[in-house]
Structures are given as structure tokens and as C-alpha cells.
Structure 1
């Protein structure tokens, strides 16, 4: 069905076929043309910008950024969406989300920082097994040289993130773009004054969060049932 153009290939399929046929990358260049669009129209531009970003900085308040999600966790997130999604729509969305994680190992490496609210880590999205798998995934990702995870503890008495989640992307042209997700869609911020405010706010959030080593230890304690 893929060969006849009746079904879009799953992530990795074209790479495998290219290698099996010793095509030398000829088939891989067609990936953007044959891949099905799984993201809402308002998210397509963000997905493209993220894939090309020199740097990604994200502050999460309700659930983990897509780049950090295991397949099982992503499935649980989409199953939580209301109105409910159809099963096939959920699976397409999960595969699309997993595909964005190529950013983790892309060359040249993307510089990434993530600040996670403590309740995001404690929320057992998908149940105990999925939750534990996600925590192990975060510990593994925290070992990447180009990625830093920080936890914003509930005990913090002053908090610069009261306006909610945010993402900052640095483009290949070294421009910084702000991205804010909302209930019925999302929007970009590009004006220098807006970016200055967001950058300052994100820097303050990072300074208020636990550092990377303490955050990693916090996740380990959660996994061990000690936090």
C-alpha cells in the first residue's frame, strides 16, 4: 500500500527501503513529499521550525514537551484530548510526534533546555508502567551532551512562570521566535520587544528551578518512590 501511494510510510520506513535497495539516499530525499501531514494546520509551521532549530528552550506546566515523550506517554496524552480522538487519528498523531524526536540526535546538534514543573513529573499519565517508563526515558535523555533538564519545585516561593508554558526557538539565521500554546490553537511571537520579555522570563525561570544534577536526582527519587 505504501508503494502504491495508498498509505504514508511510518518513520524509518523510507530509510530502511533506501538501505535495502542500496539507493544511496535517492529515496530519502522524497520523505517530505510522501509523509502524511499529521499535525493540525496551525502546528505545521512550528514542527518545521523545530526540526531546523539551532536551539530549543521549553517551559512545561501540564505535560512533557513532545521531544521528551515516549511513544506510550504520547499515546496517553492524545487519549486525554477532549473531544475524544478516533483510534486511528491517535496512532497517526503518536507516530508524527515520535518522528519529531529526530531532533534529539540530529547533526549538527540542537541545543536544548527544558524546565518542567514538578506536577508534570508526578502526574502518572497513562498509568504506573507508562509513567515509570517516561521517567527512565528522561534520565536517559538527561545524559545527552546537548540537552539539559531542570525541575521547577513546588516549594519555590517566587515564580516567574505564572503566565504559563512557552517555547523559544533559534532559527538557522540566528533569529529567536517565541511559541505559545493555547486551548484552541497556538501563536508565534517575533517582535523584538516580545522576544526580549520571553527570554528574560525564561532565564529567570531557569534560575529559579533546580539545577540539572539536582533535577536528575529528583527524578531518580521519584522513580524509586522516595519523592
Structure 2
């Protein structure tokens, strides 16, 4: 607690900042946070400010200041902005927000986003949900909030932000070729209530109309197809290489061996052949939208 204009102000502590811990298995993330913490400490010491005084100035407890400077906690973007102003860094500390923001995303999400950012072709079949690349932020939030055991509120926001950030793939120029096959069942589930459900269906229609996107629906009355084991992903790159992953093949691990990739390509190609054609798929989603 500290006093400001006669009022007691509670400084933020570790209990107030759940979900901002550094993943010890994320080598790149550990290095980034350690570098940022070191720069914060050097700048604070250069102006002769004690950690306790600096903490009061930015609204954090002394212990949290030491944890951030020691690379044990990920600083929030607003922390870096306040530190930049208090320490007169001229924008140098604020400039580190972009790297720090990426550290917050789970490593596997960052790795996937990096591959998607380089792929010239992306093919995805999803069995039990809407593909993360197609989810609205509200739909993603409800999906994460439904998990058991429950995530903390901060963890939910972190994962929603990571999922939405991946969708920058739609803004690339030149645009990659994207194909999606979604099951009918998840599109009929009003996850989050009518408004969230409508917004999600509207998003599917919007994306399905893009020239570089092929969106297909697998109708429930299709009794058997090669995707019943779960999700399939195929990413192809400009140099001719490719990466694939499937829940029901090769223990779910990413694979790049041409022989194994041919198996996934065969499965995905068969799924696309059994799904509704793109035009009929869009008409089907629009019909669902009209029923909401």
C-alpha cells in the first residue's frame, strides 16, 4: 500500500497478475523476457531510482518490479509504457512491447503462426469445432471458458489474443490459398448464445466468399469419411516442402516425410471430395444463419 493525495493505493502484486509467468521450457521467451528485464533495471539504475520508488510510480509492488527485472515475469504493455515515461527512455522501452507480446502466446501457437505466415497453401479439416483460423474472438473466448479444469480469466484472454493474432494470415499479400472443411454439427451448436452464434456464422460466410478461400461443409448424413479421428492440417511452402499433422496419424506429431505426407494428402483430398461443394456449403451456412 502507498499514499497518493491522502488516499491508500494498493500496488499490483503477483496475485494480481496471473498468467504472466515465463514458461521455463520456452527458450526464446526466456531470453526475450530476461533481456527486457535487464534493460528495465539498467535504465532505472541509470536515473538513480530505487525499485520501491519506481514501483510506486508505475503502480506495482517492489517485489513485482524485481521479478520483472529478473526475467521471472512478463511485463504488461502498459508497464513498459509507464516505465518508458517514468524513466525518460524516449520510446526505447515502449518499443519492446511487440516482442514481449509474442512471448505471451504459448510456444506451440507461435510456432504454428510462424509456419502459417510462410505457407503458400493451407488445408484444414476440423471435426469437433470451428477452425481457430475462422473463429471470432467471442466464439474463441466462450470455447476456452468452457474447458475443465477452468482457465483463469487472464489465461483465457491470452489464448484468445493468440488465436486472433493467427488470423493475420488472411491479410497477407500475396494471399495464400486456404481451404477448410468443417463439420455440420459444430456449426449448429449455439456456442455463447444466439448473438455469438450469429456472428460466428456471419464470419464463416464472409471468409468463404474470399477469392483465395475454399470453405466446405461436411454434412452429418455422410456416415463415414477419413477424418473421423480428428483434425488434419496441411501446410505447403514456396520451396516445395510441406508439413502436416493429423490427430489420428503418426501420434499427432508434425510430419514432413513425403511418404507420410501423401497419406495425409489422400485423407484430406477424400474428405474434400465427400464434403458439399463450396457454393452449396455457403448456401448451407446462409440457411443456418437465417434460422438463428
Q: Tell me the TM-score normalised to structure 2 length.
A: 0.64
The gaps in structure 2 that reach 5 residues or longer are 1-39, 41-73, 79-94
Counterpart position of 2:149: 83
Residues in 1 aligned to 2:96 and 2:114: alpha-carbon distance in whole angstroms? 16
1:30 Cα deviation after fit: 6.8
Of 255, 269, 272, the match for 1:206: 272
Are 1:6 and 2:83 an aligned pair? no
Show CA shifts across 1:114-169 (max 9, x none).
00011121122212111111001111111111111100001114422222211001
Residues in 2 aligned to 1:128 and 1:73: alpha-carbon distance in whole angstroms? 11
Aligned residues: 208
1:173 Cα deviation after fit: 2.1
Residues in 1 aligned to 2:191 and 2:117: alpha-carbon distance in whole angstroms? 26
Residues in 1 aligned to 2:142 and 2:252: alpha-carbon distance in whole angstroms? 21
Residues in 2 aligned to 1:149 and 1:134: alpha-carbon distance in whole angstroms? 14
Of 147, 164, 183, the match for 1:98: 164
Structure 1 consecutive aligned stretches of length 4 or more whose deviation exceeds 4 Å:
29-32
1:48-127 equivalences in 2 (<5 Å): 48-127=114-193
Counterpart position of 1:44: 110
Residues in 1 aligned to 2:98 and 2:236: alpha-carbon distance in whole angstroms? 22
Worse overlay, 107-116 or 78-87 = 78-87
1:92 Cα deviation after fit: 1.4
Q: Is the 8 A contact 1:59 1:115 kept in 2?
A: yes
1:13-52 equivalences in 2 (<5 Å): 33-52=99-118
Q: Is the 8 A contact 2:119 2:237 kept in 1?
A: yes
The gaps in structure 1 that reach 5 residues or longer are 10-28
Residues in 1 aligned to 2:243 and 2:114: alpha-carbon distance in whole angstroms? 13
Show CA shifts across 1:158-203 (max 9, x none).
4222222110011232211112359xx9520111111001001100
1:105 Cα deviation after fit: 1.6
1:156-167 equivalences in 2 (<5 Å): 156-167=222-233
Higher helix share: 2
Are 1:170 and 2:236 an aligned pair? yes
1:110 Cα deviation after fit: 1.1
